[in-house]
Structure 1
Amino acid sequence: SAEDGKQILELSESASLSFNDVDSLGKITINQAYIDLHIDEILDLPLVNKKAIEAAKFKVVVDGVNSTGGIAVPLLLERLGVHAVKLYCEPNGHFPHNPEPLKEHLGDLSEKVVKEHADFGIVVDPDVDRLAFMDEKGEMFGEEYTLVAVADYVLGQTPGNTVSNMSSTRALKDITEKHGGSYQASAVGEVNVVELMKKTNAIIGGEGNGGIIYPELHYGRDALVGIALFLSLLADKRISVSELRKSYPSYFMSKQKIELTPGLDVDGILKTIEQRYASEKISTVDGVKIDFEKGWVHLRKSNTEPIIRIYTEAGSQYDADALAHKFMDELAEIAKK
């Protein structure tokens, strides 16, 4: 938790603390089987439908960004009977493109999916805790919708509650309520999501950057379990990835920031926004989030820079961008006073 981290930092800064020499700490264990053991645990999960996945005979292109994912993802797919076409799966540490799994970095994956006539594409980040999909046409499924799709499957099998952070898509709330569950939003950060998941007994949660947290396996973001559950969903629905995406509420996001003069009272600026929109649904758990009928805005200050980040979501990209720029203008106006 954040409190545990604070205590560790206080201990590390204590002058009375006596540190061991590095050579006297613990022991080194070499075990090449840990990935296989983790995959074993995933395949043993009741909601991972191995037979249906194998029967579907999926063909999938994997972009492992030349990291651990290049080993783990193909191994998982092989165990599930999926034909994996490897792209950048040599774990040599040389990233072939920016490792953040965003559309602008994934031109090669898009081209490969179309060329191979694959059912879809998979991309993970270097430590395999963020997961994004690409449909059979080479178009992004949407990183925000990774959690939405996996939650749709999990909730359809085992009704319950969900959690994501405040900057994540409203689509998860829509899907959760469709299945009769309750959705809660946490402050940004994996530790905050997990804390709220435990408090609300959420059965699935995560973050809009493609992070899946499935407590049945463990309380941490895990792309591998996300892949297995997504494949189970596709095998169950028997539709294409592009058709699956069309079945979900369609929202668009805008992510902006405004730089302020050093020394300005950022908390005071956010307080003014809060007061201006007091008649709307507001949360101050993490900055200021304002929920409107057809969209939302989330304003967060940086802890290291005089910056306010502006996240918005609406029913079209135009509306999301317009909402973001409206608040950028308001923040700039307040800052000048």
Structure 2
Amino acid sequence: LKVGGSVQITASHNPAVYNGLKISRKGALPVGENSGLRDLEDMVYNGTVTITKSPGKVVDKPVKDAYLDFLRAYVPDLTELDLSIDLSHGMANLLAKDLLGEHHHYLYDHFDGTFPAHEPNPLEEENCKDIKAAVLENKSDVGVIFDGDADRVMFIDEKGRFIQPDYITAVIGEYFLAKKKGNVLQDIRTSRSTTEYLEKLGGRVTTWKVGHSYAKTKMKEIDAIFGGELAGHYYFKDFNNCDSGMLAALIVLQVVAKLHAQGKTFSSLIDTIVTYANSGETNFKLQQKDEAMAALYQKYAVEQTPLAVLDFDGYRIEFADWWFNVRKSNTEPYLRLVAEARTEALLAEKVGEISRIIKSFS
């Protein structure tokens, strides 16, 4: 459209009463807390409003067909695949059947902003029960589930297992690295399994802060070919460094179709990627978040000798056989913990140890 900015009305995976504005400036760069949003807030509350003498005009510009044309270049041959797809009563309904066809096993395939079936947040296991059951009942090769505004997507393998989204970063990263070696962006919570898998393929992996405004800006800064987050956001150089749940889904379906043609399953690829025991993200609701983080830093970064300490989004403290990240939520009153270790036993030991420290501040 060659415009100087954009505004999207969305509540993401939340009910409509939480609708807000997602703002971008020229070049599709996000306007976030540290990149213009505070300036806008100051202008709204303290600026002087001057009514123009020559008002502009509103022009309707349909973009759906152009977006579909862009996405169709990524649609694989799906004739041999059995797919179960949960559209979560959300915006994926606008595109899914145009791209994938009508004949798959669709769940909640009409718009309903009250989201009667389940909260449109596939990161919560409770919301994936129906798609898991559908995959097993239909003997599908893969299950796909979108969030409410379809900027995120997550996957279920043919065994009915939810695939942790940072492992999908490895799947999509491999797709792009096979075409051209380059930089890949991951967030600070990402599994070592993913990092090591991508590095073996020739990827140069950069770790950065959690959040779309940080990711999109860093993607452009390092000229990344692709980026992924634990929350299920996937960012593409070929899509102006922006995230698209539908584009991510199409690329994963390409991978699954190729595996199927080789007589392989989606789960076999995931099992190749995953080489560490991972806790997933655990939330602790407490008031003394800063004090808890300081105590963890003292114990693990000061009193011990870690291999590395990343401190740009909470702390990620790395040891030879395990690591953890603890960070404050940007949007909720939680302290979030992710940990990973070479063995389940070591993981259980460290998660228990860290959890006790955190809970002592509740």
Please confirm whether the aligned pair reaches a TM-score higher than 0.5, indicating the same fold: yes
Report the CA distance between 1:321 and its aligned residue: 4.0
Counterpart Cα distance in 2 of 1:151 and 1:203:
8
Note if 1:246 corresponds to 2:291.
Answer: no
Note if 1:27 corresponds to 2:58.
Answer: yes
SS of aligned partner of 2:238: coil
Note if 1:94 corresponds to 2:117.
Answer: no
1:254·1:317 contact (CA, 8 Å) conserved in 2?
no
- State TM-score, norm by structure 2: 0.78
1:74·1:86 contact (CA, 8 Å) conserved in 2?
no
The equivalent of 1:272 in structure 2 is 298
Q: Which of residues 154, 175, 178 is equivalent to 2:176?
A: 154
What are the Cα deviations for residues 248-289 of structure 1, in whole angstroms up to 9, with x where unaligned?
123322433445555975675465343234543101111211
Note if 1:17 corresponds to 2:48.
Answer: yes
Report the CA distance between 1:319 and its aligned residue: 3.7
Q: Which of residues 294, 305, 311 is equivalent to 1:284?
A: 311
Larger deviation: 312-321 or 190-199?
312-321
SS of aligned partner of 1:3: helix
What are the Cα deviations for residues 291-320 of structure 1, in whole angstroms up to 9, with x where unaligned?
122221112135688753322122455543
Note if 1:139 corresponds to 2:161.
Answer: yes
Aligned residue runs from structure 1 range 175-324, under 5 A: 175-237=197-259, 238=261, 239-251=264-276, 252-260=278-286, 265=291, 268-269=294-295, 272-273=298-299, 274-302=301-329, 308-324=335-351
CA 1:254–1:60: 2 relative to 1, 3 Å: closer
SS of aligned partner of 2:237: coil
CA 1:115–1:193: 2 relative to 1, 3 Å: same
SS of aligned partner of 2:89: coil
The equivalent of 1:37 in structure 2 is 66
- State TM-score, norm by structure 1: 0.83
Counterpart Cα distance in 2 of 1:145 and 1:302:
22
Sequence identity percentage: 21
Report the CA distance between 1:29 and its aligned residue: 2.8
The equivalent of 2:8 in structure 1 is none
1:254·1:324 contact (CA, 8 Å) conserved in 2?
no
Segments of structure 1 that go 5 or more residues without pairing to the other structure are none
Letter in 2 for 1:87: L
Larger deviation: 249-258 or 57-66?
249-258
Counterpart Cα distance in 2 of 1:88 and 1:139:
20
What are the Cα deviations for residues 138-164 of structure 1, in whole angstroms up to 9, with x where unaligned?
222333322221112111222111111
CA 1:270–1:322: 2 relative to 1, 3 Å: closer
Segments of structure 2 that go 5 or more residues without pairing to the other structure are 1-31
SS of aligned partner of 2:242: coil
Note if 1:73 corresponds to 2:96.
Answer: yes
Q: Which of residues 132, 145, 148 is equivalent to 1:110?
A: 132
Report the CA distance between 1:231 and its aligned residue: 1.8
1:64·1:87 contact (CA, 8 Å) conserved in 2?
yes
Note if 1:329 corresponds to 2:360.
Answer: no
Report the CA distance between 1:19 and its aligned residue: 6.9
Report the CA distance between 1:210 and its aligned residue: 1.5
SS of aligned partner of 1:209: coil
Letter in 2 for 1:208: L
SS of aligned partner of 2:176: helix
Report the CA distance between 1:30 and its aligned residue: 7.1
Counterpart Cα distance in 2 of 1:19 and 1:278:
59
Note if 1:167 corresponds to 2:189.
Answer: yes
Counterpart Cα distance in 2 of 1:303 and 1:121:
30
SS of aligned partner of 2:49: coil
Larger deviation: 140-149 or 271-280?
271-280
The equivalent of 2:15 in structure 1 is none
Counterpart Cα distance in 2 of 1:87 and 1:258:
32
Counterpart Cα distance in 1 of 2:136 and 2:293:
49
Counterpart Cα distance in 1 of 2:65 and 2:253:
19
